[in-house]
A = this chain, B = another copy of it.
Amino acid sequence: MNLDFTYFENGIGRISGQLPGMPQDRVVLNRLFFYVFKELDDVYNQHLLEFGLNSSTFLALAMILSSEDNRLNPSHLSDALIASRTNVTRLADDLVGSGWVSRKPCTQDRRRVELSLTPSGRKLILVVLPVIWQRIEQQWIDFSPAEIAEFDRLLRKMLEGLRRFRVAS
Protein backbone atom coordinates (compact mmCIF):
# COMPACT_ATOMS: atom_id res chain seq x y z
CA MET A 1 0.00 0.00 0.00
CA ASN A 2 1.26 3.42 -1.02
CA LEU A 3 1.36 5.91 1.84
CA ASP A 4 2.11 9.01 -0.21
CA PHE A 5 0.17 11.94 1.16
CA THR A 6 0.64 13.99 -2.02
CA TYR A 7 -2.23 12.20 -3.79
CA PHE A 8 -4.57 13.67 -1.26
CA GLU A 9 -2.97 17.07 -1.11
CA ASN A 10 -3.05 17.53 -4.87
CA GLY A 11 -6.71 16.60 -4.99
CA ILE A 12 -7.60 18.92 -2.15
CA GLY A 13 -5.70 21.72 -3.85
CA ARG A 14 -7.68 21.26 -7.07
CA ILE A 15 -11.01 21.30 -5.24
CA SER A 16 -9.99 24.39 -3.36
CA GLY A 17 -9.28 26.09 -6.68
CA GLN A 18 -12.76 25.22 -7.95
CA LEU A 19 -14.97 25.71 -4.92
CA PRO A 20 -14.80 28.58 -2.43
CA GLY A 21 -14.88 28.22 1.32
CA MET A 22 -12.65 25.26 2.06
CA PRO A 23 -10.66 25.57 5.32
CA GLN A 24 -7.78 23.92 3.53
CA ASP A 25 -5.22 23.75 6.32
CA ARG A 26 -7.66 22.07 8.70
CA VAL A 27 -8.96 19.68 6.04
CA VAL A 28 -5.37 18.65 5.39
CA LEU A 29 -4.75 18.30 9.11
CA ASN A 30 -7.68 15.95 9.63
CA ARG A 31 -6.62 13.80 6.74
CA LEU A 32 -2.96 13.83 7.69
CA PHE A 33 -4.11 12.32 10.93
CA PHE A 34 -5.38 9.25 9.14
CA TYR A 35 -2.06 8.75 7.39
CA VAL A 36 0.00 9.06 10.54
CA PHE A 37 -2.31 6.76 12.46
CA LYS A 38 -2.17 4.13 9.76
CA GLU A 39 1.62 4.25 9.73
CA LEU A 40 1.84 4.16 13.53
CA ASP A 41 -0.42 1.16 13.77
CA ASP A 42 1.34 -0.71 10.95
CA VAL A 43 4.82 -0.08 12.27
CA TYR A 44 4.11 -1.30 15.79
CA ASN A 45 2.21 -4.32 14.59
CA GLN A 46 5.26 -5.15 12.50
CA HIS A 47 7.58 -4.80 15.46
CA LEU A 48 5.35 -6.89 17.73
CA LEU A 49 4.99 -9.70 15.22
CA GLU A 50 8.37 -11.16 16.14
CA PHE A 51 7.05 -11.80 19.65
CA GLY A 52 3.82 -13.38 18.44
CA LEU A 53 1.89 -10.28 19.52
CA ASN A 54 -0.07 -7.48 17.92
CA SER A 55 -1.01 -4.10 19.33
CA SER A 56 -4.14 -5.49 21.03
CA THR A 57 -2.56 -8.51 22.68
CA PHE A 58 0.52 -6.51 23.65
CA LEU A 59 -1.50 -3.77 25.26
CA ALA A 60 -3.75 -6.26 27.00
CA LEU A 61 -0.75 -7.98 28.60
CA ALA A 62 0.70 -4.62 29.58
CA MET A 63 -2.55 -3.46 31.14
CA ILE A 64 -2.93 -6.66 33.17
CA LEU A 65 0.68 -6.28 34.31
CA SER A 66 -0.09 -2.73 35.38
CA SER A 67 -3.20 -3.71 37.32
CA GLU A 68 -3.28 -3.94 41.08
CA ASP A 69 -2.74 -7.51 42.29
CA ASN A 70 -2.28 -8.80 38.73
CA ARG A 71 -6.05 -8.93 38.21
CA LEU A 72 -8.19 -7.15 35.67
CA ASN A 73 -11.78 -7.51 34.50
CA PRO A 74 -12.58 -7.75 30.78
CA SER A 75 -14.70 -4.61 31.08
CA HIS A 76 -11.80 -2.53 32.33
CA LEU A 77 -9.63 -3.96 29.60
CA SER A 78 -12.30 -2.97 27.12
CA ASP A 79 -12.07 0.63 28.35
CA ALA A 80 -8.29 0.69 28.34
CA LEU A 81 -8.07 -0.72 24.82
CA ILE A 82 -11.00 1.25 23.35
CA ALA A 83 -12.35 -2.08 22.18
CA SER A 84 -15.80 -3.61 22.49
CA ARG A 85 -16.44 -6.10 25.26
CA THR A 86 -17.12 -8.63 22.53
CA ASN A 87 -13.66 -8.17 21.21
CA VAL A 88 -12.12 -8.39 24.66
CA THR A 89 -13.86 -11.71 25.26
CA ARG A 90 -12.21 -12.99 22.10
CA LEU A 91 -8.87 -11.41 23.00
CA ALA A 92 -9.03 -13.13 26.39
CA ASP A 93 -9.81 -16.43 24.66
CA ASP A 94 -6.64 -16.02 22.59
CA LEU A 95 -4.44 -15.01 25.51
CA VAL A 96 -5.71 -17.89 27.60
CA GLY A 97 -5.20 -20.20 24.64
CA SER A 98 -1.60 -19.04 24.32
CA GLY A 99 -1.04 -19.74 28.01
CA TRP A 100 -0.24 -16.12 28.87
CA VAL A 101 -3.37 -15.32 30.84
CA SER A 102 -5.65 -17.18 33.23
CA ARG A 103 -9.36 -16.51 33.59
CA LYS A 104 -10.99 -17.06 36.96
CA PRO A 105 -14.45 -16.23 38.29
CA CYS A 106 -14.52 -13.36 40.76
CA THR A 107 -15.76 -14.39 44.18
CA GLN A 108 -17.05 -10.99 45.34
CA ASP A 109 -19.13 -10.32 42.24
CA ARG A 110 -20.16 -13.44 40.44
CA ARG A 111 -20.95 -11.62 37.21
CA ARG A 112 -17.30 -10.82 36.84
CA VAL A 113 -14.22 -12.59 35.61
CA GLU A 114 -10.64 -11.93 36.58
CA LEU A 115 -7.82 -12.02 34.07
CA SER A 116 -4.32 -12.59 35.44
CA LEU A 117 -0.91 -13.07 33.86
CA THR A 118 0.45 -16.58 34.08
CA PRO A 119 4.19 -16.86 34.85
CA SER A 120 4.78 -17.35 31.13
CA GLY A 121 2.71 -14.30 30.24
CA ARG A 122 4.49 -12.20 32.82
CA LYS A 123 7.85 -13.34 31.54
CA LEU A 124 6.90 -12.47 27.97
CA ILE A 125 5.63 -8.96 28.63
CA LEU A 126 8.65 -8.17 30.81
CA VAL A 127 10.89 -9.07 27.87
CA VAL A 128 8.85 -7.19 25.27
CA LEU A 129 8.25 -3.93 27.13
CA PRO A 130 11.88 -2.77 27.29
CA VAL A 131 12.38 -3.63 23.62
CA ILE A 132 9.32 -1.63 22.58
CA TRP A 133 10.31 1.28 24.82
CA GLN A 134 13.68 1.42 23.16
CA ARG A 135 12.02 1.54 19.76
CA ILE A 136 9.63 4.25 20.88
CA GLU A 137 12.67 6.29 21.91
CA GLN A 138 14.13 5.72 18.46
CA GLN A 139 10.89 6.77 16.82
CA TRP A 140 10.82 10.08 18.71
CA ILE A 141 14.52 10.75 18.68
CA ASP A 142 14.31 13.93 16.61
CA PHE A 143 11.76 15.56 18.91
CA SER A 144 12.79 17.91 21.67
CA PRO A 145 11.08 17.67 25.07
CA ALA A 146 9.32 20.92 24.24
CA GLU A 147 8.00 19.52 20.98
CA ILE A 148 6.76 16.40 22.75
CA ALA A 149 4.98 18.47 25.37
CA GLU A 150 3.41 20.68 22.72
CA PHE A 151 2.30 17.68 20.68
CA ASP A 152 0.66 16.24 23.77
CA ARG A 153 -1.12 19.51 24.46
CA LEU A 154 -2.39 19.83 20.88
CA LEU A 155 -3.65 16.24 20.80
CA ARG A 156 -5.61 16.68 24.02
CA LYS A 157 -7.03 19.94 22.79
CA MET A 158 -8.07 18.26 19.54
CA LEU A 159 -9.73 15.47 21.50
CA GLU A 160 -11.77 18.01 23.42
CA GLY A 161 -12.83 19.78 20.25
CA LEU A 162 -13.97 16.48 18.80
CA ARG A 163 -15.95 15.50 21.86
CA ARG A 164 -17.83 18.76 21.96
CA PHE A 165 -18.52 18.18 18.31
CA ARG A 166 -20.09 14.74 18.65
CA VAL A 167 -23.58 14.27 17.35
CA ALA A 168 -25.91 13.94 20.33
CA SER A 169 -26.88 10.29 20.72
Q: Give the interface of A toward B (CB within 8 A).
A: 1-5, 7-8, 10-12, 14-15, 19, 21-23, 25-30, 32-44, 46-47, 62-63, 65-68, 76, 78-80, 82-84, 126, 129-130, 133, 135-143, 145, 147-152, 154-163, 165-167
Report chain B residues within 8 Å CB of A63: 8, 11
A82 to B, closest residue via Cβ: B38
A62 near B11: Cβ-Cβ < 8 Å:
yes
A156 to B159, CA, bound (A): 19
A136 near B15: Cβ-Cβ < 8 Å:
no
Q: Is chain A's binding surface mostly helix, strand, loop or mixed?
A: helix
B148 near A26: Cβ-Cβ < 8 Å:
yes
Partner of A66 from the list B11, B62, B166 (CB cut-off 8 Å) is: B11
A52 to B101, CA, bound (A): 42
Copies of this chain per assembly:
2
Report chain B residues within 8 Å CB of A68: 14
Report chain B residues within 8 Å CB of A166: 42-43, 46
A15 near B130: Cβ-Cβ < 8 Å:
no
Report chain B residues within 8 Å CB of A80: 7-8, 11
Report chain B residues within 8 Å CB of A1: 78, 82-84
Which of A1, A22, A165 neighbours the largest number of chain B CB atoms within 10 Å of its CB? A165
> Contacts A62-B15, A141-B161, A155-B36 hold; do A133 and B21 have CB atoms under 8 A apart?
yes
Report chain B residues within 8 Å CB of A46: 166-167
Report chain B residues within 8 Å CB of A140: 23, 26, 29, 161
